[in-house]
């Protein structure tokens, strides 16, 4: 098969973007126009090792990848030491390998120097899992950024693909479009630059109803065993790749894999079972959530506790037709009944079914307008570079004490208000008429099935209505849903003097939970300024963004809210991984410990210990 490689000349440092998929629909996102804490008055990157001489290690990195591919200066590494929405920490170097063999050699050098290693791609995660967390590590931290390791290999006529570490979902989508196929998953940050491997490592969720979170059981990765030795583990399921790391990397670089060499066809290369799972409304746990023990396997769900070199994933046929419907009601039980009917009676599941309430609609209309307009008028190819520039400017301006924080965000907001209304008339009419909305996307035979039900049953209910979108309306509806994800952050930026930081939760409810519209008690609402709700309705995965008044004890409020979710047997986070913001449950902690017994990779993830675990001799 042919190896499709992308240019390695430019490293995109994403801030926010979106793109239309192969069928013309914008990709939905949970990525926000968010801010990071870098640029504030932080300790230097090596503050936790002020007397450590790391020059020999840096020279070794430079000998492997070249001097230009090793960053050590504070200003140049700040972006990579920060998370997308929040998080910041120290690192002695950021290293950019340009081949799988270079990645292997950088790993070897880092392990031999007893470093903590953070594997990083394009930093689209929202829970601080792809950057250092603070400056209290017990050893030097090395960030290995894999965004220059581009390439994918089509297998068996494109029914599956092998993706290298820096290959993005958007690049995969564009390549598959040529053969009329679609990726195993479409997640919100697809065209911001989220990588295929990154989505698998984080069990990244998404809006698709017919396919679940990113998952595969077929991968090639490096891990450090309990004796402290770095090993390459080949679970790709391909014969004749080679017996040594060098041979395997050379075989993959050649890009020629015969169909007869494919093995392990019985192993999952995507969450193929999800469309059956989602129809079961009476399970004891939500039908998808990030730490589902059935979806933890090698690289899948690893959260950077191993170093992935390649994953093998499924592809799917592209639908011939798609249609977007907008549904409105003032009674959430109407949507409950509709969901139950679709999941139990429809022959064809929706492609997507996105929920918004009036508060998030209004907030996104005003505070997400620049995102909407940027995508529509600039195009998605230019946005990553544009927002990388924004991040750099923000980093510099945030160091000036008398300037307000996040000045570029404020500027973008005020400029966007100079433009005329960007939403179509019928969407605005529904906003005024209804409190709750669904964006229902159907394809092929499912279009007629859905329209028949909506016309003959749904619209007969008092207080409900729907309309079939034209091309302009469906594009606007999905772009608006995309912009909603950043609305809370932008609102808080504009009201930073009177509000606390955004408290953002993504939760998975039980399939039969009838109380999916939250009713908060007075002890919480008295401190609340704004509550925004949106999410993936058929999956019962919701994103809930709260903005509280200045002076509110967010830690206490969050504890109360999580306790309420525990009582409902909800799971959280639903699709963003635990990162450094959530505590991993015992199953997930054990999974991490098995993958990484010396705590070399991404230490501290899931609020675990950052401390190195001493290797155990083979004799012991």
Contact (CB, 8 A) for 28 and 478 = yes
Please list the rounded mean pLDDT of every run of 10 residues in the chain (620 residues). Answer: 35 29 31 34 40 80 97 88 85 97 98 96 84 95 95 94 92 91 75 81 83 92 97 96 95 91 93 90 89 92 96 94 96 96 96 95 93 75 60 74 80 89 95 96 96 93 93 92 86 91 91 93 95 94 94 94 94 87 92 98 96 84
Residues 520, 524, 528, 531: is their CA dihedral positive or negative?
negative
Residue 125 preceded by cis peptide, ω within 30: no
Express each pLDDT in 129-169 by its tens digit: 899 999 999 999 999 999 999 999 999 999 999 999 999 88
| 240 vs 244: CA distance, rounded Å | 11
Express each pLDDT in 603-614 by its tens digit: 999 999 999 999
Main-chain phi, psi angles of 440, to 5 degrees? -100, 120
| 620 vs 617: CA distance, rounded Å | 5
Q: What element of type H or E holds 503?
A: strand 503-508
Express each pLDDT in 41-83 by its tens digit: 334 334 444 434 689 999 999 999 999 999 999 888 888 998 8
Report the relative pairing of strands 181-183 and 307-317 from DSSP bridges.
antiparallel
| 320 vs 228: CA distance, rounded Å | 52
Contact (CB, 8 A) for 152 and 160 = no
3 state SS of 549: strand
Cβ-proximal residues to 566 (8 Å cutoff; 6+ apart), any chain = none
Q: What element of type H or E holds 505?
A: strand 503-508
Contact (CB, 8 A) for 35 and 489 = yes
Distances (CA, A) of 576 to 244, 430, 606: 35, 31, 12
| 137 vs 120: CA distance, rounded Å | 18
Cβ-proximal residues to 462 (8 Å cutoff; 6+ apart), any chain = none
Task: Look at phi and psi of residue 268 and say left if phi exceeds 0, alpha if psi is from -120 to 50, else beta.
Answer: beta
- For residue 476 the two structure tokens come to 């606007």
| 214 vs 461: CA distance, rounded Å | 37
Q: Which of 96, 135, 112 is nearest to 9 (CA)?
A: 96
* Per-residue pLDDT, 453: 96
Q: What is the pTM of this model?
A: 0.84
Q: Which of 367, 338, 382, 392 is nearest to 537 (CA)?
A: 338
Number of Cβ atoms within 10 Å of the Cβ of 554? 14
* Per-residue pLDDT, 31: 29
| 349 vs 210: CA distance, rounded Å | 7
Number of Cβ atoms within 10 Å of the Cβ of 50? 8
| 260 vs 217: CA distance, rounded Å | 19
Report DSSP letters for 313-359, one per residue: EEEEEPPS-EEEEEEEES-HHHHHHHHHHHHHH-SS--SEEEEEEHH
Residues 182, 183, 187, 188: is their CA dihedral positive or negative?
negative
| 219 vs 259: CA distance, rounded Å | 17
* Per-residue pLDDT, 120: 95
* Per-residue pLDDT, 192: 59
Which residue has tokens 């525990």? 566
Distances (CA, A) of 296 to 44, 57, 215, 299, 300: 36, 34, 8, 8, 5
| 604 vs 174: CA distance, rounded Å | 36
| 130 vs 145: CA distance, rounded Å | 10
* Per-residue pLDDT, 376: 79
- For residue 367 the two structure tokens come to 């505070």
Number of Cβ atoms within 10 Å of the Cβ of 617? 9
| 303 vs 527: CA distance, rounded Å | 34
């Amino acid at each position: 098969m042919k190896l499709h490689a992308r240019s390695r000349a430019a490293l995109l440092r994403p801030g926010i973007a979106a793109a239309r998929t192969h069928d013309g629909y914008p990709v939905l996102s949970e990525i926000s126009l968010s801010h990071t804490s870098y640029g504030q008055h932080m300790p230097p990157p090596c503050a936790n090792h002020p007397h450590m001489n790391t020059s020999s290690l840096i020279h070794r990195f430079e000998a492997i990848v070249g001097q230009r591919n090793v960053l050590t200066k504070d200003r140049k590494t700040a972006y990579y030491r920060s998370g997308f929405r929040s998080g910041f920490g120290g690192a002695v170097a950021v290293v950019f390998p340009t081949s799988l063999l270079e990645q292997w050699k950088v790993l070897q050098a880092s392990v031999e120097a007893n470093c903590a290693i953070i594997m990083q791609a394009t930093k689209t995660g929202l829970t601080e899992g792809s950057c250092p967390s603070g400056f209290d590590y017990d050893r030097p931290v090395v960030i290995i950024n894999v965004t220059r390791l581009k390439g994918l290999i089509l297998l068996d006529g494109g029914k599956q693909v092998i993706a290298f570490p820096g290959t993005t979902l958007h690049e995969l989508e564009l390549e598959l479009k040529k053969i009329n196929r679609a990726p195993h998953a479409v997640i919100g940050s697809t065209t911001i630059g989220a990588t295929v491997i990154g989505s698998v490592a984080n069990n990244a969720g998404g809006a698709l109803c017919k396919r679940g979170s990113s998952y595969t059981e077929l991968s090639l990765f490096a891990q450090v065993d309990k004796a402290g030795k770095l090993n390459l583990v080949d679970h790709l399921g391909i014969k004749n790749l080679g017996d040594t790391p060098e041979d395997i990397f050379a075989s993959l670089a050649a890009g020629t894999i015969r169909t007869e060499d494919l093995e392990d066809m019985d192993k999952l290369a995507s969450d193929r079972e999800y469309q059956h799972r989602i129809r079961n409304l009476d399970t004891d746990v939500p039908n998808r959530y990030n730490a589902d023990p059935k979806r933890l396997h090698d690289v899948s769900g690893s959260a950077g506790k191993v170093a992935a070199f390649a994953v093998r994933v499924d592809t799917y046929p592209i639908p011939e037709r798609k249609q977007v419907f907008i549904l409105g009601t003032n009674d959430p039980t109407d949507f409950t009944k509709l969901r139950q009917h679709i999941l139990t009676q429809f022959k064809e599941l929706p492609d997507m079914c996105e929920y918004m309430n009036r508060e998030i609609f209004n907030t996104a209309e005003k505070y997400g307008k620049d995102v909407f307009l940027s995508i529509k008028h600039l195009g998605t190819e230019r946005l990553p570079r544009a927002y990388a520039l924004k991040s750099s400017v923000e980093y510099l301006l945030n160091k000036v004490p008398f300037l307000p924080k996040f000045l570029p965000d404020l500027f973008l907001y005020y400029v966007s208000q100079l433009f005329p209304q960007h939403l179509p008339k019928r969407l605005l009419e529904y906003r005024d008429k209804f409190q709750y909305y669904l964006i229902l996307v159907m394809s092929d035979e499912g279009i007629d099935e859905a329209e028949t039900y909506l016309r003959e049953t749904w619209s007969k209910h008092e207080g409900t209505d729907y309309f079939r979108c034209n091309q302009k309306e469906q594009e606007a509806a999905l772009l608006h849903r995309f912009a909603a994800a950043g609305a809370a952050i932008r609102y808080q930026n504009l009201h930073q003097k009177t509000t606390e930081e955004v408290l953002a939760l993504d939760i998975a409810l039980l399939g039969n939970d009838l109380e999916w519209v939250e009713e908060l008690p007075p002890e919480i609402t008295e401190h609340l300024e704004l509550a925004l709700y949106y999410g993936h309705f058929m999956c019962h995965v919701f994103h809930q963004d709260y903005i509280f008044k200045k002076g509110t004890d967010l830690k206490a409020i969050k504890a109360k809210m999580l306790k309420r979710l525990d009582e409902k047997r909800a799971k959280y986070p639903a699709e963003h991984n635990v990162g450094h913001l959530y505590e991993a449950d015992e199953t997930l902690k054990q999974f991490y410990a098995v993958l990484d017994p010396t705590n070399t990779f991404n230490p501290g993830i899931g609020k675990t210990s950052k401390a190195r675990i001493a290797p155990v001799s083979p004799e012991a």
